[in-house]
Amino acid sequence: MPLRREILKKLRLLLALAQGATLQEFADQRGVELSTLRSQLKNLFAKTGKTRQSELIRLALMAETGLR
């Protein structure tokens, strides 16, 4: 899977969380397992060095608006 597509999937997840969706709701909407989303979040924490979900969401919002 191309890198851009992977990044967009993770960005969509974080933006959904920013809008108040739960991991379970997002999993149900996308037809994926909850464990898959947890794994994606865990990987994002490791890659970014962030320790809080709110920090990841902030990064996603900044990326979406081009403030990076």
pTM over 0.75: yes
3-class secondary structure, 67: coil
> 68 pLDDT exceeds 50?
no
* CATH annotation of 3-62: 1.10.10
Longest CA span, the chain: 32
| 12 vs 28 pLDDT, higher one | 28
Digit-coded pLDDT (tens) for 13-59: 998 998 999 999 999 999 999 999 999 999 989 999 999 999 988 88
